Structure 1
Amino acid sequence: MNLSVVLFCLLNVVMSGNKLTSVDFEIFGNVQGVCFRMYTEDHGRSLGLSGWVKNTRQGTVIGQIQGPQEKVNEMKNWLKNVGSPSSRIDRAVFSNERDLSNMEIHGFSTRY
């Protein structure tokens, strides 16, 4: 393999690791009154993500997360399988996943 091919492959690996993405989520189960929003905000910040989280009148939690693809995937896994210590997650729905050229949200917040 020549040097230009090796450099091209390395550049692709580096660039894909910096790919930014955005995804909306809705979490179903016992997710209200169990500090789910606070834990979501804390975990998102610990991963260096931006976004927001909010309770709905239907008893679910909705939100959006943005950041590097790898970190967004970690957060999706956390939302689907972990949540707050007292929560019970029945189902996590992710939608509107898209690539970003720049972050649209800065910081992580709870919306009311």
Structure 2
Amino acid sequence: MCDARRSDQSQLAARPVAAVTGYTPLSAPAHTASQLTMSSDLCSVDFEIHGHVQGVCFRMYTEKEGLSLGCVGWVKNTNKGTVVGQVQGPRDKVKEMKVWLSKEGSPSSRITRAVFTNEKDIPHLEMSGFGTRY
């Protein structure tokens, strides 16, 4: 390998991935937890999604979407064939998540109804991350 190419590679290695490729990982939250807890515009909402939403990776896609929006929460399958969960975060991001849950979901899902309850303002996030419960 020539010295000029080695020099270029060492310069690339010292720069963050996003600066080199323009790529930002989906799992990186849009906000840090400390930034979110300082905001006064946080909210929480519970959800139940009806339709063909089990066995189609709905929970996994919900986790990924929540994280990509910078939200926290949890998701779980129910015995009656629905998916339930809770989302917390900045009001505008929770609103985006509600649209995603009611209109998009995982690629193979077929959502017939989305029910949102207990929407409320919260002073700080009550959990961290986005996970699946069993």
- TM bracket, shorter-chain basis: 0.7 to 0.9
Deviations 1:41-79 (A, max 9, x none): 000000000000000000000000000000000000000
Identity of counterpart residues, as a percentage?
67
Answer yes or no: is the 8 Å Cα contact 2:40–2:123 preserved in 1: no
Q: Which has the larger strand fraction?
A: 1
Match of 1:99 in 2: 121
**Deviation, structure 1 residue 18:** 5.2
Instruction: State the TM-score, normalizing by the size of structure 2.
Output: 0.70
Q: Does 2:110 correspond to 1:88? A: yes
Answer 1 or 2: higher relative contact order, Cα 8 Å, separation at least 6. Answer: 1
Q: Contact 1:54 / 1:110 at 8 angstroms: preserved in 2? A: yes
The answer to whether the aligner puts 1:73 opposite 2:66 as a matched pair is no
User: How far apart, CA to CA, are the structure 1 residues paired with 2:106 and 2:70?
Assistant: 18
Runs of 4+ in 1 over 4 A off after TM superposition: none
Uncovered stretches (5+) of structure 1, i.e. residues with no partner: 1-16
Tell me the SS of whatever aligns to 1:51.
strand
2:53 to 31, 43, 60: 31
RMSD: 1.0
Alpha-carbon separation, structure 2, partners of 1:105 and 1:96 = 16
After the TM superposition, which residues 4-83 of structure 1 pair with which residues of structure 2 at under 5 Å, given as runs?
19-83=41-105
User: Over alpha carbons, which structure has the higher Rg?
Assistant: 2
